[in-house]
Amino acid sequence: MLSKSDLEAAAELVYRYMPATAQYAWPLLRKETGCEVWVKHENHTSIGAFKIRGGITYIDWLKRTHPDVSGIVTATRGNHGQSQSLAATRAGLTATIYVPKGNSLEKNAAMRAFGGEVIEYGSDFDEAKDEAMRQAEEHDWHAVPPFHLEIARGVATYALELFTAAPHLDTVYVPIGCGSGICATILARNALGMKTKIVGVVSSEAMAAKLSFEQGKLVETDSAATFADGVAVRVPVAEAFEIYSKGAERIVAVSEEEIAEAMRIYYRTIHNTAEGAGAAPLAALMQERDTMSGKAVGVILTGGNIDMHKYLTVLGGGIPAA
């Protein structure tokens, strides 16, 4: 679906706006897990999360293919919205971002700082998404979906960097929200002709992607009450499911406590901040460390954007409210 030249062209575009991020094999993480652990530091991008890459490629595609569009609307729990706010306003477009009520105050502030108008609606991401799509029709805005191949093409540049730096990886763990991260990693692996296994990770409180994967059909859940807001999705995205249902090795569910402990491990071993979704891959590796012992493993630290009061709760040994 994507070729190596597609990835290289996307990288050339992305690097006009941000440098490549680092990936390191950290020795204290090896001690914790028994594995050679490579961390892909997407918490070091210009918005503190991997989503910026897809925002750059999507808005570039939008301007080329829909030159009359004046504004975009989308829904988010924060990182996708930061990406679209930054890329859209840089391109001269307005950006209206729908978030659920009670969304992260600090992510909301960041989206506004990047030029977006933030509107709270609904009790969770999926309700906010439905309202954003309705508003797109009412105002003749362009609706940016939670998943699109052009978003995945940009996101895949992190996987291109990781696989180029560490082509010997046996397995890479990636969190699943709406699916751009895991699909991008699968598409990059396939484009490079590699055999690396890709493992998706969800919260045990937001199981839609795992249930869908295991049942071979789209399965919605009644709630997604996890403090790891980047994976708090009730309704799987069909286009993403089409890719990860075929390309993922398995999907692992991790508990809220396992996610919080992985955040503490990140801080204690490499002194990096990880938000809940960003720590979920390490949580899954810790859960599977006996079977992964001695292997070379990648974990995507997808972002570090967590409100301070929640992070303090985690560092204090607790679990933040969803």
pLDDT of 140 = 87
Q: In whole angstroms, give the CA distance from residue 252 to residue 20.
A: 28
Domain 4-50+149-315: CATH architecture, name and number where available: 3-Layer(aba) Sandwich (3.40)
* Cα–Cα distance measured from residue 315 to residue 42, given in angstroms and rounded to the nearest whole number: 21
266 and 32 Cβ atoms separated by less than 8 Å: no
Alpha-carbon gap, residue 65 to 49, rounded angstroms: 26
How many Å from the N-terminal Cα to the C-terminal Cα in the chain?
Answer: 36
Amino acid at 221: T
pLDDT for 232 equals 96
Say what the pLDDT of residue 211 is: 98
Asked if 10 contacts 163 with a C-beta cutoff of 8 angstroms, the reply is no
**Is the alpha carbon torsion for 46, 77, 303, 10 positive or negative?**
negative
Q: Is the pTM of this model over 0.85?
A: yes
Per CATH, the number for 51-143 is: 3.40.50.1100
Q: How far apart are CA 122 and CA 130, in angstroms?
A: 9
> Residue 164: what pLDDT?
98
Residues 6+ apart with CB under 8 A from 310: 227, 320
pLDDT in tens, the chain (322 residues): 899 999 999 999 999 999 999 999 999 999 999 999 999 999 999 999 999 999 999 999 999 999 999 999 999 999 999 999 999 999 999 999 999 999 999 999 999 999 999 999 999 999 999 999 999 998 889 999 999 999 999 999 999 999 999 999 999 999 999 999 999 999 999 999 999 999 999 999 999 999 999 999 999 999 999 999 999 999 999 999 999 999 999 999 999 999 999 999 999 999 999 999 999 999 999 999 999 999 999 999 999 999 999 999 999 999 999 9
* Rounded CA separation 151/140 (Å): 21
Q: For CATH 3.40.50.1100, list the domain ranges present in the chain.
A: 4-50+149-315, 51-143
* pLDDT of 1: 86
Q: Return d(Cα 319, Cα 316) in angstroms, integer.
A: 9
What are the residues whose beta carbons fall under 8 Å from the beta carbon of 234, sequence distance 6 or more?
Answer: 124, 125, 126, 206, 208, 220, 221, 222, 223, 224
d(CA 217, CA 219): 6
Neighbours of 312 (CB within 10 A): 12
